[in-house]
Structure 1
Amino acid sequence: MPKNAMTVGAPRAAAPRSLWLLGPALVAGVAYLDPGNVASNMTAGAQYGYLLVWVVVAGNVMAWLIQYLSAKLGVVTGQSLPEVLGTRLRNRWGRRAYWLQAELVAMATDLAEVIGGAVALNLLFGVPLLVGGIITGAVSMTLLAVQSRRGPRPFEFVIVALLAIITIGFVAGVFVAPPDPAGIASGMVPRFEDTGSVLLAASILGATIMPHAIYAHSSLARDRFGAAQPGEADAARTEPARIRRLLKFTRWDVTIAMIIAGSVNLCILLLAAANLAGVEGTDSLEGAHAALAAGLGPVVATFFAVGLLASGLASTSVGAYAGAEIMHGLLHVRVPLLARRLVTLIPALLILGLGVDPTLALVLSQVALSFGIPFALIPLVVLTAQRRTLGGYANRAWTTVAGVVATVLLIALNTTLLYLLLSA
C-alpha cells in the first residue's frame, strides 16, 4: 500500500474531518466529462433535440452505483480492482491477457482525451493539432508529477479545480440561451426515433461509464483510506465503526461527483438541443464550436473551448493514473508514472501527426471502450457481492441485482454500438 495511504488501525483522534473524506469520486468523476462525452452529448442534442435526455439521466444513475461499488472495494479491502484480480487470476497467461485488454482500453481512452485537449488548443489559440497534443501531454505529466511527489490530496485539489473550470465552461451557454422546459420533460420519456438515435444512445453510455474510471476509483479510495491489511476483509472488522463512516462519506462523495458530472453532461446536450438543432457540421467538436460562435457569440464559444481544454487535461491525467494501476495490479510491475505517460502519448501524437480526423479518432476510441466494459463491470459486481472479499460489507441482495441489471444493460447497449458502427 502507498506510504501515504490511511490505515484502519490509525488512532481515532487522527481520523480526518468529514470534508477531508471527499475527493476520490470527484477525481474519478472527471472521466465522465472527457472529450468523448462532450462529442456524444453535443451530437445527440444537435441531431435529435431533447430525445435522449433520458439516456443521460439513466447513465448517471447507473454510474453512481458502479462508482460506489468500485470505491467500496478499495475502502474495505485496501486493494484496487486490478490488485484483487491480480491475486485471484492464478493463470499467468490469463492474467496477462486480462491486463492487455485493460491496458488497450486505457490507452484508447487516453487517445480521445489527448485529442480533445489538442482540438481545444487549436480552437482557442490556433495551435496545430500535433503541437497541441504535445502540450496536453506535457501538462498532464506535470499533474502526474504532483501526484507522484506530493501524494493523492494535492493531485485531487488540482483535478477538482479543473473540474470547476469544466463545469463553468460547459454550463455557461445554458444560462445564455436556456432550454425549453417542456422539451426537457418530453426527453425524460424513454424512446428512440431511428437507428441513429440508438447509436447515439449507446455512444453516450459508452462515453459515460468507462472501464478506466472503475479501475481508478478503487485505487483512489485505497490510497486515501484503505484497510490495514490489503485483501483481507477481516482487517476491516478491527474498527467497523470507522469503515462504516468511510463508506457513508464515500456515498456522499460519489453522489456529489455524479450530480456534477450528470448535470454538466445534461447541460451539454441541452445547449445543443436548444441552439444547434438541425445545424450542419455539429457532429464534430470544431463544428459545434463554430456553430456556438455563430449562434450565441464568441464568449459562449470560448467558454466551451476552455471547458474542453480543462476536460482533456484533467481526464488524460486520471486515465494515465488508471493505466499505471492496471499494470501494477495485474502484472505486479510498477513502472514510473511519468515514464508510462510518455509511452502512452505516442499513439495519440502519431494520429495527430498523420492528420487523422479527430472526430473519427474519438469514435474509434468509443469502440475500444465498448470492448472493455464487460471485463471491468462483471468482476466488480461479483467481487463486491462476495463475503470472502468484503466480509460483512458485501453487497445486499438488491444491490447485487441492481448491479447485474446495470451490467446487462450496458453490455447490451455497447454490443449494439459495436454492431451499428461495424455494419455502417
Structure 2
Amino acid sequence: MTKDFFSKYGLSFVMVASYFGAGSIFIASDAGVRFGYTLIWAVVGAVALGFMGQDMSARVGIFGSTLTSFMRKKLGRGLSLALSLFLSVGCVLWCLELTAAVGKGLELLFGLEEGMWKPLAYATGGIAMVTGVLDYAKAEKVMTYMMFILLALYVVVAVVSGPAPIELAAGFLPRITSEGALLSAVAILGTTALWPNFFLESTLVKEKGWTKASDIPHVRRDLALGYAVGGIITIAIIVVAAAVLRPAGYTQLDTFLTPGLALEEILGQWARIAFLVGAVAAAFNSIIPIMWTPAYMVMRSLDRDPEGGSNRTFKWIYAAGILLGSLSPIVSEVFGLSVVDMIILFPAYNGVVGLPIAAILLFWAVNSKDEIGAHRNGWKMNVVNSLLVVLSLYAAYRSGPVIFDAIFGGGLS
C-alpha cells in the first residue's frame, strides 16, 4: 500500500514542504487575525497559481532538461553559475530563518530559558544536514509523512475552534476590503509560489521516473494532492486565527508562535502543543528541499550530473549551505535582528529578488521551442504565467527598498 502510494505521489509534498514553513504560518495567522475569513479565497488562488507554475516546471523537466540547464544553455556556463550563486544567497537566508524558527519553537515548547534557541538552531542544522543527504526516496517519505502530520494537527485545532459556517463559506468569495488585505493576499501568493520549486520540480520529476508525455497526468494528480494538503493546512490556520484569536481581541501577532501561546488560554494546553509542534515540524521540513536547490543549481550550471543527490560534490554543496544556514544566532547578533525579523524579512527578500528572476526564466523556458518543442505554453497558460511575472516584479518594485532597509537597519520598527 505504502509502496504503491509513493509510486504515484510524493514529489509534490517535497514542493509543498519547501513553501510551508514559519513564514507561511505567520502570514496565514496574521491574515486570520486582521481580516477574519475574508482571505481564504487568496489561498485557493495562490494554490492554483502554484500548481500551474509547478506544472510548467515539470514539463520543462520531462520534455527538456532542467530549468538550470536551460539557463546554462541560454546564458552560458559562467553567467549561469554566477546567477545560481546569487540566487543561492536567498536559500541560505531562508535556512537562517528556518533554523532560528525551529530553535525558538523548541525553546517555547519545552519552556526553556530565553536564548536557548541559539544552540538549538545549530543542532537543527546538523540534523537537517544528515536528513538531506539521504537518498531521494527516503527524504521524500520523511517530508510526506510530516505534511500529513501537519494536516492532522491543524485541521483538528481548526474544527475545535468552532468557525462560523456562513462566514467561512463567504471567505471563498474573492474580495478586497482594504489595502492591507491586498498586501496580505500578495504575501500569501508569494509564500506559496516559491521560486526554488521552479528549479526543483524540473529536476526531480526524473527521480520519480516521469520522463514522457504519458506521465503528465501522474504529475498533475500528484500536484493536485500535494497542493490540496498544503492549501487545507493554510486555510485551517486562517480559520483558527479568525475563529479564536480575533474574537479574543488579538489585532496583531508578535511572532508565528503567538497563536499557539494564545490557544492555550482559550482551548487548553493540548492546542498550544499541537500548534507549536506543527510550527516546528513545518519549519524543519522546509529546510531540506530549499537547501537542495543551490546544490542542484550549481551542479547543473557546471554541466555536472548530481546523480539524484548521491553525488559527493552535491552533498558537500548541500552541507556547506546548511552550515551557513545554521549561523542564525550569529546573524541575529551582527545585524541586530530578532527571530521574528528573520522569519518575516528573509522570505520577503526572496520574494522581491529570487521570485522575479525565477519566474522570468520559467516563462522563457516554457515558451522555448528549442527546449520543449510542441509542448511549450499555449496562450492561456501564458496569460496565467505572465500574471506571476508581473506580480513578482510589482512586489519587488513596491517592497524591495523597505525590505533591504529593514535587513540592514536592525530589523522591523
Residue 346 of structure 1: CA displacement? 4.2
- Corresponding pairs, count: 388
Distance 2:315 2:19 in 1: 26
The corresponding residue for 2:270 is: 299
Distance 2:237 2:293 in 1: 26
Distance 1:288 1:415 in 2: 32
The corresponding residue for 1:357 is: 338
The corresponding residue for 1:401 is: 383
Q: Return the TM-score normalized by structure 2.
A: 0.86
The corresponding residue for 2:238 is: 269
The corresponding residue for 2:51 is: 64
Task: Give unpaired runs (5+ residues) of structure 2.
Answer: 305-312, 407-412
Distance 1:401 1:280 in 2: 37
- Counterparts in 2 of 1:215 and 1:344: CA distance versus 1, 3 Å: farther
The corresponding residue for 2:320 is: 340
Residue 107 (structure 2) pairs with residue 136 (structure 1): no
Residue 158 (structure 2) pairs with residue 174 (structure 1): yes
Check the 8 A contact 1:84/1:329 in 2, yes or no. Answer: no
The corresponding residue for 1:239 is: none
Tell me the amino acid that sits aligned with residue 204 of structure 1. I
Residue 311 of structure 1: CA displacement? 0.8
Check the 8 A contact 1:202/1:416 in 2, yes or no. Answer: no
Residues 34-183 of structure 1: pairs in structure 2 closer than 5 A: 34-77=21-64, 79-90=65-76, 92=78, 94-127=79-112, 128-147=116-135, 152-183=136-167
Distance 2:333 2:235 in 1: 33
Q: Which residue among 319, 344, 367 is the counterpart of 2:290? A: 319
The corresponding residue for 1:230 is: none
- Counterparts in 2 of 1:307 and 1:346: CA distance versus 1, 3 Å: closer
- More deviation in 258-267 or 203-212? 203-212
- Counterparts in 2 of 1:402 and 1:281: CA distance versus 1, 3 Å: closer
Tell me the amino acid that sits aligned with residue 264 of structure 1. I
Q: Return the TM-score normalized by structure 1.
A: 0.84
- Counterparts in 2 of 1:138 and 1:185: CA distance versus 1, 3 Å: same
Residue 96 of structure 1: CA displacement? 4.0
Task: Give unpaired runs (5+ residues) of structure 1.
Answer: 1-15, 228-242
- Counterparts in 2 of 1:341 and 1:88: CA distance versus 1, 3 Å: same
Distance 1:190 1:97 in 2: 41
The corresponding residue for 2:227 is: 258
Q: Percent identity?
A: 21
Distance 1:258 1:157 in 2: 16
User: Considering only aligned residues, what root-mean-square deviation do their CA atoms show, in Å?
Assistant: 2.4
Check the 8 A contact 2:69/2:301 in 1, yes or no. Answer: yes
Distance 2:164 2:399 in 1: 29
Residue 192 (structure 2) pairs with residue 192 (structure 1): no
Could you say what secondary structure the match of 1:272 adopts?
A: helix
